[in-house]
Structure 1
Amino acid sequence: MQIKKPKLSYLSMLVMLNLGVATTASAAEGSQSANKDIEVITVSGIHASMVKSMDIKKSSDGVVDAIVAEDIGKFPDQNVAESLQRISGVAIDRDGGEGQLVSVRGLGPEFNAVLVNGRTMSTVSGGRAFSFDTLASELISGAEVHKTQSAKLQDGSIGATINITTHRPLSIGEFKAVASVKNTYDKLSDSNNPTFSGLISNTFDDGKFGVLASLAYSDKDSRSDVAQTAGYLSETLDSLNSGETLENVFMPRNYDQIVKTENRERTSGSLVLQYRANDDLLFTADALYSKYDVSYREDILAHWFEPGNIVDATLDENRTIVQLATGNNSATDYLNRLSYRPTTTKALGVNMDWQLSDELNVTADVSYSNAKSDGGNGTTDTVAGFFNSYTFDTTKGGDVPELGFEENLSKDILGANWASIFGDDIEDKIVEARLDAEWIVDQGSLSKVNFGTSHSSRTLSTMPTNTDRTVRNGWGGYVVQLPSSLFTDFDADGFLSAAGGDPVSQWLIFDSYEFMNFLESDQGYTQLDPDSAARMKAAMDNNGGHTAQNVLSDSYEVKEELTALYVDAYFEGELSAMPWQVVAGVRYVKTDTTSSGYGNELVDITGPDALGKYVPITSDNLTRISEKADYSNVLPSINANIEVVEDVIIRAAWSKSITRPTLTELSPATSYSEGKIDSLSASGGNPNLEPYESDNFDLSLEWYFDDASYAAISYYTKDVDNFIDGGISQESVTVPNGEFDIRVSRPMNLNSTKIDGVELALQHRFTYLPAPFDGLGVMANMTFVDSESSADTAENPLPLPGLGDSQNAVLFYEKDAVQFRIAYNNRDEFMQVTSNWAGGAPIYVEDYYQVDVSGSYDITDDFTVFFEGINVTNEVTKKRGLYSSHALYTIETGPRYSIGVRGTF
C-alpha cells in the first residue's frame, strides 16, 4: 500500500515553536551568557547530547550547529551523514540507502569543507566532496557545522565547514572500555549483517599520559531495485503504422530494470596518544584508518528505443510518448555488471598545545592524509540480447512502466553485443602544517587576538582504465551466438513493489567473466567474419583479452599548494547592561596549481570530404601537458553577537569566502571532433579556472530557555560570483591546411548566483509534564531556501543544483532505563543537474521523506540492549526530467532493522 506522505508546513512549525517556548517561559532561568564559561553538567544519553550540542552553539563566535555523541561509541545515527541531516540547512544524498554526501544551505558537497579534528581529509570522489560512508560513526565523538566564516577557520567553503572530532584519552580522563555488537536485517535483500565496535582508553602517570584505541567492523549486504531511463529526446516519428508523421515528440532514450546486489565491508580504527608534559604543554599524536570495500552485481533487463523502430505511439499533452510499440527490428538486452572497488583512507597527525605564558598560547599541527581506490580493473559491462518487438506503457498506474515482449526466457536465441572491463585508480594525498596563536590582550574592549599561518599540499591523480577499443567494440550486432549454458532464469521477486506498477519480474542473467571467457575462446570470436576474427584475435593477444588497459589520454594529476595567513581580533563589552562580542578578522590565502595530463597534439585538419566534413588529425604519440596557475584571495570576516536579555542572543555576520574549482575540472587535456567548417568542436578541462567567490551575510535570533532547550531563527544570503558552468569559446588554430575556428567546450567562470534562506529550529524537553511523560522531548527544524542566477531567463528560470527546502522532526523519550526516538526527515524536490546528457534537460529529484526509529533499555548501568529501524515506511527515491511524465529513475532500497547490545567497562 502506498503511504501518503506527511508534510510539515510553515505554520505548523511556528505553532510548534510557540507551544514549546510558551509552556516553559516561567521555567527558563540561570543559563549563562554566550561569552562566559560553559557550565559542566554531568548527564548521559540524549539529554547529554542535547546539552553539549546546545552549549557549543551558544558559546560559539558565529552561527554553529553541533551534534555530540550520546555516549562513547554511541552516535545518534548509524551514519555520520544521517545525523548531520538533523541540523537545519543540512541535506544529504544517499547511496544504496546509506547517507554519503552532505549539502548545506543549498550548496552541494563540493562547496563544503569537511575536516577531521581540524584537518582536511583525503577522498576518492575525484573532487572535493567527502564520502561520509567511509567513516564508522562509532569512532566519532561529535561534529560541528560552521555556517559562518572566520579568519581562523580554514578557507575553501562557501557552504559550511564541517569539523568531525574523535575521542581523546585525556578528555575521558579514566579507564574506559566500550564494546557493542549488533545485527542488521536488510529486508529487501533478506540478509543479516553483523557490526562490531570497540574502544578502550586509559591514562597513566597520574593522568599525564593517555592511550586510546578503537576498532569498528561492519559487513553489509543490500539490494536495490531500479527502473531507469537515461533521458527524453526530441524526435520525429515517421514509421508509424498509421502512416502519419509526428514531429517534436519527447521519446524515452531507453528503459532499464535493474536489480543491484551489493556488499559493503568496512574496517575502521583509530589510535590516539597524548602526553601532558606539564600543566602548560600537551602533545597529541593520532592515526585514523579506514578500509572500505564495495562490491556489487547488477542484473539488467534493457531496451533501447529508436524513432525509426516505433510503429505505434500515444502522446500526452506535452507531446511525450506514454505508450509505444516497436517492430521486430528492435532488441531486448540482458546486461551484467560486476564491480569491486576497494578504498583505503589513512590519516596521521601530531599536535602540540603550549601555554607559553598567561597571555600567550601556541598550537602547532602537522598532518598527512591519503585516500586510495584501486578500482581500475573492477567493473565489467557485458551485453547479450536478441532482435525483438515490445510494448512500453506508463499509463497503467504506479511509478514503474509496464513492459511487454516475447521470448524473455529463451536461452537459445541470444547473441553477444558488448563486453568491457573499466574503472579508475584514484589517489588523493594531503600534507598540512598549521601554526596558531592566541594572545590575551585585555586592553579596553580588545580581549584577545588570534593569529596564525598554514600551508598545505594536495595531489590528486586519476588513471582511468578500459578494455581495448577494438576488443570491446567488436561484438556488436548479436553475430556471435552464445550457448544456453551461460544463462540462468532470474526471478526479481517483488521488484519495486513499494513504487507500484506492473514491471517484468523474470528475465535471464549471466556472469560477465564466463561470458568473456567464451568470447575469447575459439568457439566465440571465430563466429565473426574472417577479417574481423583476425583483428579481434590480434587485439586480444596484444591486450590480454578483455583486461582493462590504462587510458593515458584520460589520466590527469592536479597538485594544489595553499599558503594562508590570518588574524582575528576579539572585542567585547556591555551596552546598556547587554553583553556583546565582535570578532573581526582577515585571512589571506595564495593558491598555486599544477595540472598535468596527456593529449594528442593537433597536427592538421584535413578536408573537406565529399560530405563537407573536416577531420582533425592528432599525433600518434601522447604528449605530456602541464599547466600552472595561481591566484590570491583576501577574505575579511566579522562575527558579532549581543545578549539583549538574559539567554536571548542576536548574531550578525558578514564575510567573503571561496570554494576552489573541483579538481577534476582542472585537467589540461583537449580532445577534438570532426565536423563541417562551422561546427568543428573540441572539449577539455580548464586549468585556469578561478574560485567561486561569495559575499555572505547572516542574522540570527536565539533563545536558550533551559539547560537543553532553545529556539532559533536565522536568515542568510550569499552572493556568489565566478560560478562555474559548461561554456563554449571560439579558439583559432593554425595547421598546415590553414587557420580554423574551433568551438571548444570547457568549464568556465560564467555566472553569478544569489542564495537566500531562512532556518527555524527548536530543541526542547517537556520536563514539566506529569510522569511518565516528563521524559518526552522534541528537536525540529525547517529550512526555506531560494536562488536566482544571472543565467536565468524568463522562459527558463532554473534553480541552483541541490537547492531545496527541508524539514526535520525528532520526537524522543528518555527516562530512567528507557530511551526511544522517532525521526522524520523530508527534502523537497530539488534540481540535481542542469543538463542531462540524453536530451539536455535538467534532472529533478522529487520530494523524499524518511522515517527512522531507535530505542534502548539499560539492563544495568553498564549494559544496554538497543534496536534501530531505518526507512521503516519503505520510501522510494524518484527522479524526473522536464515534466512529471518524464520519469528517469525510481529506486527502492527497503527498510533495515538492527538489534544489538552495548557494554561499558
Structure 2
Amino acid sequence: MLNFKPSKLTMALLSGGLLSMSSIALAAEEATAEQQAEEEVEVIEVTGFRRSLVESMNTKRYSSSVVEAITAEDIGKLPDSSIAESIARLPGLTAQRLDGRASKVSIRGFGENESATTFNGREQVSIDDNRGVQFDLYPSEIMSGVTVYKTPDATIEGEGIAGVVDLQTVRPLSKGERVIAINGTYEETSFEELNPDADNNGFRGSFAYMDQFADDTVGVAIAISTMSSPNQEKRWNAWGYPELTDENGNVVGSILGGAKPFVRSSTLERDSVMGVLEFAPTDDLHLTFDALYVDFTDEKILRGIEVPFAWGQGSISADTAVVDPETGFVTSAITEGQRVVVRNDYEEREAELNSYGFNAEYNLNDNWDLEFDASYSKVEREIWSLESYSGTGRGDSRGAADTIGYEFDGGNTGATFSHGLDYSDYDLMQLGGPLSWGWSSALNDKYGITGTEYENQAQDGFLNTPTVDDELTSLKFAATQALDNDYVSAITYGVSYKDREKTKDSDGFFMTVSSFSLENPGMMSVPEQYRLGSANLGFIGMGDMIAYNVRGLMNDGYYDLLSEKLTNTSHETKSFTVKEEITAFFVKADLDMEVGGLPLTGNVGVRYVQTDQSSQGNAFGTENGLVITSPTDISHDYSHVLPSLNLSLALDDTQTIRFGAAKTISRARLDEMNASVSATYNQQPDSNGNYWSVSGGNPELEPKEAIGIDLTYDNYFSAEGYFSVALFHKDLSEWIFDGNYEVDMSGVADPATGEIPPNSTGTGNGKVNGGEGTLWGYELSVALPFNVFSESLDGFGVIASYTGVESDIEDQNGNEFELPGLSDSISSVTAYYENHGFQVRASMRHREDFKGDVYGIGFDSVQVDIEGETIVDAQIGYDFGEGGFESLKGLSVFIQGYNLTEEPFTSLSGDNSLQVRDHQDYGRSYLLGFSYKL
C-alpha cells in the first residue's frame, strides 16, 4: 500500500482547502497528518485567480491520467468570458475562431472531430452537422471547471484520439456554505455600427444560488444567465483565382475571378438555466440530478457587393494589368462594362439544448461501491439564411455597367477597388437579379420564361433553411471492489449504453420579387418603409451601398419562393438520419504499489466497444430535369478492444514521472456517414462488376484508430508553481479519405424508371477508411510565481506553454496528407499580478498555419488553409473585500479587452500568399463588469 508521506507543501494546500481528494481513507490519513503539522507550517491562503490556478494545478497533479484543468475563481467566475477562450490557453490546446469568437478546440494538432466533449462526464450532442461541439453554446457563468484528458482510462465515456474535454458544473454539498452571486457585464466592440440596423454593444448577466439543507444532506444549486453579445466584421472574400494560360496551353499565372466583400454585424443571444440537486441521506448513498437548458440565437446582418472580374461580363485591358513577376499573379487591373450584385443578407441560427443527468452512488459495504448514471441530451437547430440581390438591371446585360479596378497591396488583406457608380442610390440600385444565376427549369416553367430572353433570370435571392436534430440517451452501471494487497487497491467493472440519432434536413428556395412576370420583367424599387440608409464599404474602396430591411420585405410578401429541391440534387445529399447504438464493457484496476522504494500509482484497464450504426436517406437521380428519389436504409456493425495504461511514479514529494499508453478511436463525422446518394443504374457493369454508380455518404465508415504513448515529467516546486516536460507519439490508422467502396443497393428503385433492377451492387465514390501515419511532439509548460525569488514579488507570476507537433501521414494511395487543425507549433503566455484586491492579467496565444473547416455554400463544411495568428487579451480588476473594504466585501469589478491587436482571421486559396480567400477583421471587444457575492 502507499505509505508516501505528504510534504509541508501538501499539508499547506490541504489546510488551505485547495486540494480535493476523492478517497475517504486518504482524506482521513491526510487530515491526521495536517493536525500534526499545523504548528510547523504556515497556512497558504490565496484567493481569486491565484486560487483557481492552484486548484487547477492540483487537479493536474493528483489525476491518474495526463490532464489539463481550469477551475473557476468562484461560482460564475471562470477566468475568461468564454469557455473556449480559457481552454485555448491550456498546454497543447488552441482554438479556431468562428465569427470572431473562439469556438472549435484543437488538442495536440488534432481538429475538433478527433476529440470528444462531455458534460459532467457524459457525451454531448452537437449543433453542427458533425460531432464537434461549439463551446460558445455553453455559458461559462454556470461552469465550475473544465478538465481535458490527454490520456484516457477505461471508465471515460467520451471517445477521441486527441482527448476528452469534460465540462463540469458545481456540486453544492461539496461547497459547504450558502452562496448567492450576481454578475453583470457591459460589452462593446471597437467598430461603430457597420450596419445601420445593428448594435455595437450588449450585456451579460447571471444569478447563482447555492445552499445546503437538512444537516447538509440536501444541496441545491441554481444558475441563470443571459447574454446579448455583439460582434462585427469587415470581410474580404474572393470567389477564386482562375489560371491564365499562353497560346500553348501552359499555365503562366492567375487572376482574380471575383470577390464578395461585406460588413457583418451580429448579435449572439443566449439564455440558460442550470440546476443541480444533491441528496445524501446516509453516508452510504449519494444522489445527484442536474439539468441544463440553453436557448441560443445568433443573428447576422450582412451587406456587401459581389464584384465579378475574370468571371464577369467586363473586359480587362492588358494595358491596365500589373503582374507579379515571381508568380504571374495579376495584382491589379481594370475591367470595363462590369455589372455587380449588391447584397443585403440576413442570417438567423437558432438552437435549443436540453440536457438532463442522474447519478446514484451507493456504498454497499466496506468492499463494494455501486454507481448508476443516466442522461439525456437533445439539441434542435434551425438556420434561416436569406440572400437578397439588387442592381441596375435584370440579367447579364441590362442596366448601367461600371468600370471597376482592383489592387492587391501585397499583404493578406485582399484587394481595394475603384468604381464609378453610386451604389447608395436607391433610384439606380433596385431589387432583382442583376446576374443570371437561377438556372432552374422549374423556375423557368413557373414564370413561363423558357425560351424567352428572360430564361434563367428569375432568381432575385435565395433562402437556405437547413435544420438539425441531435438526440442522445446514455446509461451506465459500474461496481468498484476495494482490495487489500500490495499492488491493486481497487477494481472497477462496468457497462454502458448510448443511443444517438442525428437528423439533418436540407432545403433551399429561389426568391423572386412578387411583381415579376413576363409582362413585368423589370426590377422593383425598394419601398420607402424598408429603406435604412446605407452601409459603408469604404474599407475596400466601394463607398456606401443601399441598406434595406430584407426580413421585412420577406415577411410582408414581397418575394415568392420556389423549392430548389425540385431540380437540384445537392439538398438530397445533405439530408439524412444517422443512428448509433454503442454498448461498452469495461474493467479498470487502480494500481497502488512501490517500485524500488518509490510509490507507483495509476490504472490499467480495457474497454470493449460494440457499435451498431445505420443511416436512412435517399438515392436520387433526375428525370426531365426534376429530382426523383427512392429511400435507402443501410446498416453496419463493428467492435473495438481499447486497452489503456496510466502510471505515475513519485520520485519525491514534488517530482513525478507519468507514462500513458492507450488505443483510442475517433468516430467518423455524422454527415459523412449518411445514406443519401446520387445514384445511376447502368445496364453494363463497371470495372468492379457493379451496375450502380453512387456518390454521396458512406454509412459503412468505421472509426479512425490510434495507439498513443505519453511520457511526462512534472516538478511542483512551490504551492503555486510547477514546470512540466511532455513527449507524445501516436500511430494512426484507418483514417478517412476520398475513395471508392462497394454499396448494397438492394430494394432501391432505379430513379429513371421507378423499378427495382435485378442487380443491386454499386460502386460508391466518397469517404473510405484507409491510410496510416504517425504524429509526435512535445510540450513545455510552466507556472512561475515570482514569490519564489522574493516575498516582495508575491502576487506576480507567469504561466506559459509551448507545443511542437510533427506528422507523417499518407492516404490509402500513398499521398501525403495534412491533418485538419494541425499547427506545427502553438504557444501561450499569461502574465498576472494579484494582491491586495488588485487583479491584472495579460494573455497571448499563438498558433502557426493550419487547415481548418469553415462554412461554404449552403452551410457545407469546407476545408481551407488558414494563416497563423496571435491573439492578445487583457483584464484589470479589483476586489473590494480583498482590498480591505469590509463594507464592500464580496464586490469586485473588472474591465477586459479581447483581440487587442486586432488580429484578423485569414485563409488562402492554394499556396500563393497573394491569393487571399478570406480576410476577416473583427476589431477589438471590451467588457466592463462586476461580481457581487453574498
Scaled to the shorter chain, the TM-score interval is 0.7 to 0.9
Question: 2-side partners of 1:621 and 1:96: how far apart?
Answer: 37
Query: Residues 820 and 156 from structure 1, CA distance in 2 versus in 1: closer, same or farther, beyond 3 angstroms?
Result: same
Query: Residues 842 and 551 from structure 1, CA distance in 2 versus in 1: closer, same or farther, beyond 3 angstroms?
Result: closer
Residues 455-512 of structure 1, C-alpha deviation per residue, up to 9 Å, x if partnerless? 011111111121159999x999x963232657665242773xxxxxx63342233333
The DSSP-based 3-state class of the residue aligned with 2:483 is: strand
Counterpart of 2:331, as a letter, is V
Residue of structure 1 equivalent to 2:298: 294
Task: Give 2:898's match in structure 1, choosing from 861, 870, 874.
Answer: 870
Moved more, 205-214 or 478-487: 478-487
Identity %: 25
Moved more, 586-595 or 663-672: 663-672
Q: In the TM superposition, what is the alpha-carbon distance from 1:750 to its structure 2 partner?
A: 2.9
Indicate yes or no: 2:317 matched with 1:311: yes
Residue of structure 1 equivalent to 2:873: 852
- Superposed, 1:756-771 pairs within 5 Å as 756-770=776-790
Indicate yes or no: 2:896 matched with 1:894: no
The DSSP-based 3-state class of the residue aligned with 1:51 is: helix
Q: In the TM superposition, what is the alpha-carbon distance from 1:565 to its structure 2 partner?
A: 0.5
Question: 2-side partners of 1:122 and 1:315: how far apart?
Answer: 50
Query: Residues 471 and 515 from structure 1, CA distance in 2 versus in 1: closer, same or farther, beyond 3 angstroms?
Result: closer
Contact 1:656 1:694 in 2 (8 A): yes
- State the structure with bigger RCO (CA 8 A, min sep 6), 1 or 2: 1
Q: In the TM superposition, what is the alpha-carbon distance from 1:236 to its structure 2 partner?
A: 4.0
Indicate yes or no: 2:614 matched with 1:594: yes
Q: In the TM superposition, what is the alpha-carbon distance from 1:326 to its structure 2 partner?
A: 2.3
Question: 2-side partners of 1:130 and 1:318: how far apart?
Answer: 40
Residue of structure 2 equivalent to 1:250: 254
Residue of structure 2 equivalent to 1:420: 462
Question: 1-side partners of 2:404 and 2:538: how far apart?
Answer: 22
Q: In the TM superposition, what is the alpha-carbon distance from 1:719 to its structure 2 partner?
A: 1.3
Counterpart of 1:380, as a letter, is L
Contact 1:226 1:257 in 2 (8 A): yes
Task: Give 1:404's match in structure 2, choosing from 418, 422, 439.
Answer: 418
Question: 2-side partners of 1:349 and 1:836: how far apart?
Answer: 36
Indicate yes or no: 2:424 matched with 1:380: no
Residue of structure 2 equivalent to 1:528: none
The DSSP-based 3-state class of the residue aligned with 1:229 is: strand
Task: Give 1:439's match in structure 2, choosing from 478, 481, 487.
Answer: 481
Contact 2:507 2:563 in 1 (8 A): no
Indicate yes or no: 2:302 matched with 1:283: no
Question: 2-side partners of 1:792 and 1:319: how far apart?
Answer: 34
Query: Residues 236 and 647 from structure 1, CA distance in 2 versus in 1: closer, same or farther, beyond 3 angstroms?
Result: same
Question: 1-side partners of 2:739 and 2:300: how far apart?
Answer: 36
Indicate yes or no: 2:147 matched with 1:133: no
Contact 1:466 1:550 in 2 (8 A): no
Question: 2-side partners of 1:584 and 1:397: how far apart?
Answer: 53
Task: Give 1:452's match in structure 2, choosing from 485, 494, 509.
Answer: 494
Residues 416-459 of structure 1, C-alpha deviation per residue, up to 9 Å, x if partnerless? 22312112111111111111222111223122112211001111
Question: 1-side partners of 2:464 and 2:857: how far apart?
Answer: 20
- Superposed, 1:72-151 pairs within 5 Å as 72-151=75-154
The DSSP-based 3-state class of the residue aligned with 1:267 is: strand
Counterpart of 1:440, as a letter, is A
Contact 1:27 1:705 in 2 (8 A): no
Query: Residues 354 and 834 from structure 1, CA distance in 2 versus in 1: closer, same or farther, beyond 3 angstroms?
Result: closer
Residue of structure 2 equivalent to 1:781: 801
Contact 1:237 1:307 in 2 (8 A): no
In structure 1, runs of 5+ residues without a counterpart are 1-24, 239-243, 496-501, 522-539, 603-614
Question: 2-side partners of 1:835 and 1:552: how far apart?
Answer: 18
The DSSP-based 3-state class of the residue aligned with 2:84 is: helix
* Count of aligned residue pairs for this structure pair: 831
**What root-mean-square deviation, in Å, do the aligned CA atoms of Structure 1 and Structure 2 show?**
3.8
- Superposed, 1:531-570 pairs within 5 Å as 540=560, 554-570=574-590
Residue of structure 1 equivalent to 2:456: none
Indicate yes or no: 2:718 matched with 1:710: no
Q: In the TM superposition, what is the alpha-carbon distance from 1:332 to its structure 2 partner?
A: 1.4
Structure-2-length-normalised TM-score: 0.82
Query: Residues 793 and 645 from structure 1, CA distance in 2 versus in 1: closer, same or farther, beyond 3 angstroms?
Result: farther
Residue of structure 2 equivalent to 1:206: 215
Query: Residues 738 and 595 from structure 1, CA distance in 2 versus in 1: closer, same or farther, beyond 3 angstroms?
Result: closer
Residues 337-368 of structure 1, C-alpha deviation per residue, up to 9 Å, x if partnerless? 11122211111111101111122111111111
Query: Residues 72 and 404 from structure 1, CA distance in 2 versus in 1: closer, same or farther, beyond 3 angstroms?
Result: same
Contact 1:231 1:837 in 2 (8 A): no
Q: In the TM superposition, what is the alpha-carbon distance from 1:644 to its structure 2 partner?
A: 2.2
In structure 2, runs of 5+ residues without a counterpart are 1-6, 35-43, 194-199, 393-400, 434-459, 882-888
Residue of structure 2 equivalent to 1:812: 832
Contact 2:538 2:544 in 1 (8 A): no
Residue of structure 1 equivalent to 2:593: 573
Question: 1-side partners of 2:715 and 2:561: how far apart?
Answer: 73
Question: 1-side partners of 2:739 and 2:556: how far apart?
Answer: 45
Question: 2-side partners of 1:83 and 1:811: how far apart?
Answer: 14
Query: Residues 584 and 414 from structure 1, CA distance in 2 versus in 1: closer, same or farther, beyond 3 angstroms?
Result: same
Structure-1-length-normalised TM-score: 0.84
Moved more, 384-393 or 711-720: 384-393
Question: 1-side partners of 2:731 and 2:353: how far apart?
Answer: 35
Question: 2-side partners of 1:491 and 1:79: how far apart?
Answer: 30
Question: 1-side partners of 2:316 and 2:770: how far apart?
Answer: 41
Contact 1:419 1:475 in 2 (8 A): no
Contact 1:553 1:622 in 2 (8 A): no
Counterpart of 1:788, as a letter, is D
Moved more, 640-649 or 763-772: 763-772
Question: 2-side partners of 1:730 and 1:405: how far apart?
Answer: 54
Q: In the TM superposition, what is the alpha-carbon distance from 1:674 to its structure 2 partner?
A: 12
Indicate yes or no: 2:344 matched with 1:331: no
Q: In the TM superposition, what is the alpha-carbon distance from 1:646 to its structure 2 partner?
A: 3.2
Question: 1-side partners of 2:595 and 2:555: how far apart?
Answer: 81
The DSSP-based 3-state class of the residue aligned with 2:900 is: coil
Counterpart of 1:774, as a letter, is D
The DSSP-based 3-state class of the residue aligned with 1:399 is: coil
Question: 2-side partners of 1:730 and 1:304: how far apart?
Answer: 42
Residue of structure 2 equivalent to 1:60: 63
Residue of structure 2 equivalent to 1:356: 364
Residues 595-624 of structure 1, C-alpha deviation per residue, up to 9 Å, x if partnerless? 011233x6xxxxxxxxxxxx9889965322
Contact 2:264 2:303 in 1 (8 A): yes
Residue of structure 2 equivalent to 1:631: 638
The DSSP-based 3-state class of the residue aligned with 1:263 is: strand
Question: 2-side partners of 1:96 and 1:835: how far apart?
Answer: 11
Contact 1:255 1:304 in 2 (8 A): yes
Q: In the TM superposition, what is the alpha-carbon distance from 1:886 to its structure 2 partner?
A: 1.3
Contact 2:471 2:502 in 1 (8 A): yes
- Superposed, 1:673-822 pairs within 5 Å as 682-728=694-740, 744-770=764-790, 772-791=792-811, 797-804=816-823, 805-822=825-842
Question: 2-side partners of 1:844 and 1:553: how far apart?
Answer: 25
Task: Give 1:492's match in structure 2, choosing from 526, 536, 541.
Answer: 536
Residue of structure 1 equivalent to 2:659: 652
Query: Residues 835 and 786 from structure 1, CA distance in 2 versus in 1: closer, same or farther, beyond 3 angstroms?
Result: farther
Moved more, 741-750 or 548-557: 548-557
Contact 2:322 2:330 in 1 (8 A): yes
Contact 1:438 1:451 in 2 (8 A): yes
Contact 2:873 2:898 in 1 (8 A): yes
Q: In the TM superposition, what is the alpha-carbon distance from 1:875 to its structure 2 partner?
A: 1.7
Counterpart of 1:70, as a letter, is E
Q: In the TM superposition, what is the alpha-carbon distance from 1:549 to its structure 2 partner?
A: 14
